[in-house]
């Protein structure tokens, strides 16, 4: 019994013992996921409506208007409307059914089913993107959303964020409530950018095929429907291969959408996209209104600037406020293109006497005016010589790379002796020459700059050291890289805009502002971005003042090379530059490749390049009758600018002292007045110097080892090596005739044959 009782008690205990709980972890995970999805969904809905509250307003006018960017001058006056051609607005009842079907098939196949936002398409697009397919319809935006984007939002990539996408969706839903599908499709077809400044498929039909929409073939309709994705690359005139591929994709989408038959698709694919293209004259007549001849060069740079900032000037519908002084621009255009101010040579369209002129505000860096060519009215956005960097700036480089650095780093006084004696580029057997193939002995730095002698300039660069000199020049926007050739002392390939920007720093006392065109951009959703050029002090006030004082003599002195640029009563400073042919060029002795004049007042800096596009041709050179035209252009432009600006002289800073030398008031950096022996140090220069950059640049400012000096003639022509640079190991070849663009070169110089550069 006891055993049985004991057994029963164990059984009883087992029966009463609690069972372990069932495992519900899987259900809990599922519930947690569902909860998170619900919370995430609610948060997403909340965020959507939060963003929607700040959506911009959209009107029928927004939807119907062309999406052109408007350009304004410095006084907020409208000066250009990109795409302002006679847009052929086509109402819905005149839009062919085939075009509507093509647009819907390639852009938004469920257009007639959704209410502005296609949730199925968004999901399908996500899956399609993962698979890398879906006929180019990976994007989740509907036609209505695309219309909204084109009407009130920027297409800039950095602006394509979650907030904007939510607002697009919200506005698309509202647009669908107030406008019919037919109206929405009409607005879209008339708004999209079609390349070459053309907006709307109706206008594009005339531009590309010379006929109205209802006269187009199925192949042509399909191409127009597909072009908005990339109008530049699907241009049948310029890129027929890409255009054909895009057209075929649209035709395939139309067949898949059951709006054309297989036979229709095949027949259209077999049609060449170049069939029945409009003639050049027909296209020209359509875009004639888009020509902005007077501001062509300036406008071209503004458009380039917009693109560099990430905007699409033909799709974003921007308001762009520039620094353009319209009155100054008109005067500059007239100076360049009429005989009222300048007597230009008789030339031909094949090789016309050309110019490039940049006008920069000395205090701010604002580009006030620009002309890139003359007699170029039949070309839109043609060659802009004002910003090209393929011609030597000749002696206008001397203040930037030679004498400015000498004052800045070595505290040279304006009476520092430099030597115009026979001299070879360091590390080479090539002699440096001037226009007259003569040497004039010892002279002061002021005389060397005023009379634009070459040998003292190259010697000065060597004394300063190329690394330091290049750093100084780069702070002025020259953009040099690597070890510069010694030939850059007398000219390098930089633009008139770069020279004007650099000289503006001398004008304002030593602060460099990178030249800029745009001061404000307003997007379609009224977001404003302001622009300015933050000034950077790149030299001491003493350097800027002393350079300016010497450059005033270039214009005012009887031995100066820029006397033609003199304007009575105007305080100004400047420098000429001419670039001569090498000896073996088979040109007249006085032939020049380029002629420059760069100068400034306290208000404006103006740089002028003149020359021919084809200087190698028989009649493509500047001679004594045209060499001074650059100075005349400068003088006429600066005269106009100063009529509308205050005229005052520069004030000597306290860091600059004065001393009489040979009856001339010379300048020195306070604390660095040179004794006679210091000023004349190094005047017994040998015919070829071999001192290294590092050694010369380490010389103290009060104990300079420089080349010798004496008075010289007043010509601005200088000579150097030939236009090609050949360098061997540890040797540097440079040219002052056609100096190569700023680029790295080796450490010593071994130039080729000589040419003269002024």
Active site residue 678: no
User: Which entry of 107, 265, 408, 732 is annotated as an active-site residue?
Assistant: 107
Quote the crossing angle between the two packed helices 143-152 and 181-191, to the nearest 10°: 50
Both structure tokens of 593? 């490749």
User: How far, in Å, CA of 513 to CA of 504, rounded?
Assistant: 8
DSSP 748: S
For the whole prediction, is pTM greater than 0.85? no
Both structure tokens of 78? 């409208």
According to DSSP, the residues that pair with 416 across neighbouring strands are none
First to last CA, the chain: 133
SS3 527: coil
| 729 CB-near residues (< 8 Å, 6+ apart) | 746
Among residues 725, 639, 75, 614, the alpha carbon closest in space to that of 348 is found at 614
Q: Are strands 592-600 and 604-612 parallel, antiparallel or unpaired?
A: antiparallel
User: Which entry of 219, 358, 368, 395 is annotated as an active-site residue?
Assistant: 395
User: How far, in Å, CA of 499 to CA of 493, rounded?
Assistant: 11
Quote the crossing angle between the two packed helices 25-53 and 162-178, to the nearest 10°: 70
φ/ψ of 756, rounded to 5, equals: -100, 140
User: How far, in Å, CA of 716 to CA of 450, rounded?
Assistant: 8
Q: How would you class 217 by CB atoms within 10 Å of its CB: exposed for 0-12, middle for 13-18, buried for 19 or more?
A: middle
Quote the crossing angle between the two packed helices 97-107 and 240-256, to the nearest 10°: 90
β-sheet with 718-721: strand ranges across: 367-371, 353-361, 604-612, 592-600, 573-582, 754-757, 718-721, 433-434
Instruction: State the sign of the Cα–Cα–Cα–Cα dihedral 539, 657, 451, 443.
Output: negative
φ/ψ of 391, rounded to 5, equals: -135, 145
Q: What angle do CA 375, 381, 385 make, to 5 degrees?
A: 65
Q: Are strands 718-721 and 754-757 parallel, antiparallel or unpaired?
A: antiparallel
Q: Are 92 and 190 in contact (CB under 8 A)?
A: no
Both structure tokens of 203? 């206008």
Q: For 368-421, how does the pLDDT look when each residue is reduced to its tens digit (9 = 90+)? A: 999 999 987 767 788 999 999 999 999 999 999 999 999 999 999 999 999 999
Q: How would you class 677 by CB atoms within 10 Å of its CB: exposed for 0-12, middle for 13-18, buried for 19 or more?
A: exposed
So what's the pLDDT on residue 127?
55
Among residues 537, 442, 540, 423, the alpha carbon closest in space to that of 490 is found at 423
Q: Are 541 and 561 in contact (CB under 8 A)?
A: no
Among residues 543, 536, 504, 511, the alpha carbon closest in space to that of 408 is found at 543
Continuous segment of H or E residues that includes residue 578: strand 573-582
DSSP 305: H
Collect the ranges in the chain with pLDDT lower than 50: 1-2, 133-138, 684-755
User: How far, in Å, CA of 412 to CA of 702, rounded?
Assistant: 8
DSSP 384: -
Q: Are 657 and 673 in contact (CB under 8 A)?
A: yes
Among residues 723, 729, 742, the alpha carbon closest in space to that of 430 is found at 723
Quote the crossing angle between the two packed helices 218-226 and 97-107, to the nearest 10°: 40
φ/ψ of 732, rounded to 5, equals: -120, 130
Active site residue 107: yes
- DSSP state string for 172-232: HHHHHHHS-HHHHHHHHHHHSB-STT-BSHHHHHHHHHSS-GGG--HHHHHHHHHGGGSTT
β-sheet with 518-522: strand ranges across: 78-81, 70-72, 319-322, 518-522, 528-530
Among residues 367, 675, 678, the alpha carbon closest in space to that of 531 is found at 367
The dihedral over CA atoms of 278, 280, 282, 286, expressed in degrees to the nearest 10, equals 110
């Amino acid at each position: 019994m006891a055993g049985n009782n004991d057994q029963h008690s164990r059984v009883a205990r087992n029966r009463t013992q609690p069972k372990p709980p069932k495992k519900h972890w899987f259900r809990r995970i599922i519930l947690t996921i569902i909860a998170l999805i619900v919370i995430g969904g609610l948060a997403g809905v909340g965020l959507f409506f939060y963003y929607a509250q700040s959506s911009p307003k959209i009107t029928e006018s927004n939807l119907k208007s062309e999406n052109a960017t408007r350009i304004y001058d410095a006084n907020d006056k409208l000066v250009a409307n990109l795409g302002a051609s006679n847009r052929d607005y086509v109402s819905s009842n005149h839009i062919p059914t085939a075009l509507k079907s093509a647009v819907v098939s390639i852009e938004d196949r469920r257009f007639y089913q959704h209410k502005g936002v296609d949730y199925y398409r968004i999901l399908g697009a996500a899956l399609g993107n993962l698979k890398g397919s879906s006929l180019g319809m990976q994007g989740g935006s509907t036609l209505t959303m695309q219309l909204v984007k084109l009407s009130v939002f920027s297409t800039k990539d950095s602006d394509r964020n979650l907030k904007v996408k939510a607002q697009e969706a919200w506005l698309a839903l509202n647009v669908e409530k107030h406008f019919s599908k037919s109206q929405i499709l009409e607005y879209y077809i008339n708004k999209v950018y079609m390349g070459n400044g053309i907006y709307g498929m109706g206008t594009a039909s005339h531009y590309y095929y010379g006929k109205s929409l209802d006269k187009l073939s199925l192949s042509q309709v399909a191409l127009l429907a597909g072009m908005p994705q990339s109008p530049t690359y699907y241009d049948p005139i310029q890129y027929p291969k890409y255009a054909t591929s895009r057209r075929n994709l649209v035709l395939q989408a139309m067949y898949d959408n059951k709006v054309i038959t297989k036979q229709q698709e095949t027949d259209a694919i077999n049609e060449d996209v170049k069939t029945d293209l409009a003639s050049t004259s027909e296209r020209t007549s359509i875009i004639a209104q888009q020509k902005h001849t007077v501001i062509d060069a300036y406008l071209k740079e503004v458009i380039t600037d917009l693109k560099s900032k990430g905007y699409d000037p033909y799709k974003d519908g921007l308001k762009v406020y520039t620094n353009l002084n319209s009155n100054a621009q008109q005067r500059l255009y007239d100076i360049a293109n009429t005989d009222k101010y300048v007597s230009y040579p008789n030339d031909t369209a094949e090789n016309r006497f050309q110019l490039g002129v940049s006008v920069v505000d000395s205090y701010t860096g604002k580009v006030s005016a620009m002309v890139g060519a003359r007699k170029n009215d039949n070309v839109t956005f043609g060659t802009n010589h004002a910003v090209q960097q393929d011609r030597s700036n000749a002696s206008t480089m001397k203040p930037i790379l030679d004498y400015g650095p000498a004052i800045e780093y070595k505290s040279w006084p304006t009476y520092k002796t430099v030597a115009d004696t026979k001299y070879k580029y360091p590390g080479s057997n090539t002699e440096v020459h001037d226009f007259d193939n003569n040497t004039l002995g010892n002279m002061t730095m002021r005389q060397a700059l005023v009379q634009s002698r070459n040998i003292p300039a190259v010697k000065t660069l060597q004394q300063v050291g190329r690394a330091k000199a290049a750093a100084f020049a780069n702070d002025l926007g020259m953009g040099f890289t690597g070890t510069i050739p010694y030939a850059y002392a007398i000219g390098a390939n930089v633009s008139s805009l770069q020279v004007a920007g650099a000289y503006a720093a001398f004008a304002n006392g030593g602060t460099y502002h990178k030249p800029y065109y745009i001061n404000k951009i307003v997007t379609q959703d009224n977001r404003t971005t302001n622009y300015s050029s933050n000034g950077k002090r790149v030299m001491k006030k003493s350097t800027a003042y002393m350079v300016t004082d010497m450059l005033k003599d270039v214009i005012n002195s009887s031995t100066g090379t820029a006397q033609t640029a003199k304007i009575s009563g105007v305080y100004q400073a400047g420098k000429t530059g001419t670039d001569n042919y090498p000896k073996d060029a088979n040109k007249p002795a006085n032939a020049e490749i380029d002629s420059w004049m760069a100068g400034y007042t306290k208000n404006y800096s103006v740089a002028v390049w003149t020359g021919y596009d084809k200087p190698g041709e028989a009649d493509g050179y500047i001679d004594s009758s045209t060499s001074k035209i650059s100075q005349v252009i400068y003088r006429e432009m600066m005269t106009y600018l100063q009529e509308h600006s205050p005229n005052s002289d520069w004030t000597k800073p306290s860091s600059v002292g004065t001393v009489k030398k040979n009856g001339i008031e010379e300048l020195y950096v306070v604390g660095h007045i040179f004794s006679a022996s210091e000023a004349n140090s190094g005047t017994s220069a040998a015919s070829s110097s071999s001192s290294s950059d590092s050694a010369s640049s380490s010389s103290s400012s009060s104990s300079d080892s420089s080349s010798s000096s004496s008075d010289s003639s007043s010509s601005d022509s200088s000579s150097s090596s030939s236009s090609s640079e050949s360098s061997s190991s540890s040797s540097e070849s440079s040219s002052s005739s056609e100096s190569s663009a700023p680029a790295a070169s080796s450490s010593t110089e071994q130039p080729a044959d000589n040419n003269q550069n002024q």
